[in-house]
Structure 1
């Protein structure tokens, strides 16, 4: 480690134009090895370093260096916060720890504030800053930071920004419409995000018909992705929502979603191979998929036929219900 530190210091002195960048890399190396105090000293030296006229690139690096100092201060603050939770409020140690926390939070906010106003992806810095703002009851400040991070056009598109805003609004018990508006943007960026099933539930509870239609679109969108093909919750939701949608006389909604998928979903989801594989690995999943397959492709679908032929004592009644449901709701031969 001593050899590396010597080498890093030599590199800084040899390339003064890259002093800040090398200092930051050095600090990150020290952080990676758990040498927090050394990293903090390194960042403090770099923070005060100047060479010639300050360029815009130097300013960004200085902001980044200050922000990493802020993260170290946040780490200390977070530890004090844990200590505080174990102390009695009347204890002298509580007041001392509380004051230490306040000092660190002030330093952290100063160090993080400049960076998170600079366009970029600053997830760990934003999360730390918002946590402290919330802890001290500055809900408006936290909301403003997260809203700017998510919606400011100068910042690059970042799914996490919308996730952070959504989780904050959820903690605030914001109205359903507000939550839907945030997740709608996340859906446009990452339609397979794990929050999409929660988005579907919110849409389903809405009183607006266009939200109900979007709720169906969201489920199809989730299952378009290979990483979600085994998501039994998504299949359960789709099986149930297809029936509800068709019972509500919204066949065109289903047809609209299915028309763009009918050429590739059968082999992607409903082949004989997948029927055998799913039945072997997860019979509950296979049953949900069989119901969806039957509704979308009819009784002739290979997946549906394979599952319905299985003689399973526990699932016999469920398979019978699947047959009845497909007979009633299939969009291939409705009413048969």
Structure 2
């Protein structure tokens, strides 16, 4: 990878004017940072049409981030800073948060970046818009914590966030406040921290680490009702952005409380709508399968198909086992329509996605148990003529010979292509 962007981070040259640069303290400078941020701070009114340029740059930056091409992302950021001078007031208002998220992502992962570089960027960004000040300060503190700079993180929050000055005190002490109940001094700091955390997480936003810490504190002191209330509000309050973690935290809490199955199902149902491929979906399927409601049984089939729609789950043998077993149960329960409904939207792409000859050979070579489960599903959905099923059924494996014979019988009995044959 080349040096960290000629414009984003570079050593000061003879032609660079000192007043136009912001130094990081590590021999790196930011000629673009003072120029663009200074324009906003002084109320610059440059009337230029940057719409096409900034839109294109944003797309390039996002693509570079997805591919972990940190240098290219840094290069494009130089042009994207023009949006701070856009004549469209709405774009200017939204720009600081976008720039902060993109810039901090680049600086966090770029191999030529440093803590000093990140600190300089964060300090400058805090001065662009009052609404971004607190959020950036908190995220800056988390970055410092990640690098083990506890005192710096505490000092950062104490200076910038006057209503949460004791937020990180518990982390500074050598003894864990949650277990040192004999110390009144530590208890006092725990109480102050809980008050400040509660005030923070009531503000709409994504506060995952703070919510987890606060709930752990409440649970330690036996306030189960308080913990449940916090997690419920965090998951269901419409003022907060959609956040799958909020529902995961609530589910895990209710599970620890041994909440009724219906309650657990209601929480995971929302998570399913947000992230249908989440690892908890297999647990969701088990809960639905145990339910006495028929609509839950139908949803259980939908969930399994939904999980296997995603490329990251194609090798999940547990998901294939569940689907193979549940397809047979569903068909034996005279619910052919359920299977047909799910298969209708997948019959044009699942065969090549899951059941091609290539995958049959590859799966058999890598994981014979997985191949057998997939062969059963393929045979039920596509019939005995399916390439995947035919390849697996012809394999002469001494260990799996009995298993393959059972698969053939099940396909003959349950195939939705030619039922009854």
TM-score w.r.t. the length of structure 1 is: 0.79
Q: 1:208, 1:245 → 2: CA distance?
A: 14
SS where residue 196 of structure 2 aligns? helix
What does the per-residue CA deviation read over 1:210-257, in whole Å, with 9 as the maximum and x for residues that have no partner?
A: 000000000000000010000000000000000000011111110110
Distance apart, 1:112 and its partner CA: 1.0
What does the per-residue CA deviation read over 1:254-305, in whole Å, with 9 as the maximum and x for residues that have no partner?
A: 0110111101100000000000000000000000000000000000000000
Q: 2:416, 2:124 → 1: CA distance?
A: 73
264-273 or 83-92, larger mean C-alpha shift: 83-92
Confirm or deny: 8 A CA contact 1:293 1:304 kept in the other structure. Answer: yes
Number of residues of Structure 1 aligned to a counterpart in Structure 2: 299
Q: 2:180, 2:386 → 1: CA distance?
A: 70
Call closer, same or farther: CA 1:306–1:169 in 2, change over 3 Å: same
Distance apart, 1:104 and its partner CA: 2.7
Distance apart, 1:103 and its partner CA: 2.0
SS where residue 217 of structure 1 aligns? helix
What does the per-residue CA deviation read over 1:110-144, in whole Å, with 9 as the maximum and x for residues that have no partner?
A: 22111111111110010000000011110110000
Structure of greater relative contact order (alpha carbons < 8 Å, 6+ residues apart):
1
Confirm or deny: 8 A CA contact 1:87 1:94 kept in the other structure. Answer: no
Confirm or deny: 8 A CA contact 1:87 1:93 kept in the other structure. Answer: no
Q: 1:29, 1:169 → 2: CA distance?
A: 31
159-168 or 82-91, larger mean C-alpha shift: 82-91
SS where residue 91 of structure 1 aligns? coil
Call closer, same or farther: CA 1:18–1:244 in 2, change over 3 Å: closer
> Which residue of the partner structure matches residue 99 of structure 2?
none
Call closer, same or farther: CA 1:124–1:196 in 2, change over 3 Å: same
Call closer, same or farther: CA 1:335–1:101 in 2, change over 3 Å: farther
SS where residue 206 of structure 2 aligns? coil
CA-atom RMSD, angstroms?
4.4
Call closer, same or farther: CA 1:102–1:18 in 2, change over 3 Å: same
Confirm or deny: 8 A CA contact 1:176 1:202 kept in the other structure. Answer: yes
Call closer, same or farther: CA 1:247–1:98 in 2, change over 3 Å: farther
Q: Which runs of 5+ in 1 are unaligned?
A: 45-81
Q: 2:173, 2:121 → 1: CA distance?
A: 48
1:323 aligns with 2:408: yes
Distance apart, 1:105 and its partner CA: 1.9
Confirm or deny: 8 A CA contact 1:163 1:186 kept in the other structure. Answer: yes
Q: 2:305, 2:389 → 1: CA distance?
A: 18
211-220 or 83-92, larger mean C-alpha shift: 83-92
Confirm or deny: 8 A CA contact 1:146 1:164 kept in the other structure. Answer: yes
**180, 183, 193: which one aligns with 1:98:** 183
TM-score w.r.t. the length of structure 2 is: 0.63
> Which residue of the partner structure matches residue 242 of structure 2?
157
> Which residue of the partner structure matches residue 327 of structure 2?
242
Q: By percentage of residues, which structure has more helix? A: 1
Q: 1:297, 1:34 → 2: CA distance?
A: 56
Confirm or deny: 8 A CA contact 2:181 2:187 kept in the other structure. Answer: no
Confirm or deny: 8 A CA contact 2:177 2:190 kept in the other structure. Answer: no
97-106 or 115-124, larger mean C-alpha shift: 97-106
Q: 1:293, 1:228 → 2: CA distance?
A: 16
Call closer, same or farther: CA 1:89–1:192 in 2, change over 3 Å: closer
Call closer, same or farther: CA 1:93–1:171 in 2, change over 3 Å: closer
Q: 1:319, 1:150 → 2: CA distance?
A: 46
Call closer, same or farther: CA 1:280–1:88 in 2, change over 3 Å: same
Call closer, same or farther: CA 1:314–1:110 in 2, change over 3 Å: same
SS where residue 94 of structure 1 aligns? coil
SS where residue 114 of structure 1 aligns? helix
Q: 1:223, 1:187 → 2: CA distance?
A: 13
SS where residue 178 of structure 2 aligns? helix
Q: Which runs of 5+ in 2 are unaligned?
A: 1-114, 159-166
> Which residue of the partner structure matches residue 262 of structure 1?
347
Confirm or deny: 8 A CA contact 2:302 2:342 kept in the other structure. Answer: yes
Confirm or deny: 8 A CA contact 2:247 2:270 kept in the other structure. Answer: yes
SS where residue 95 of structure 1 aligns? coil
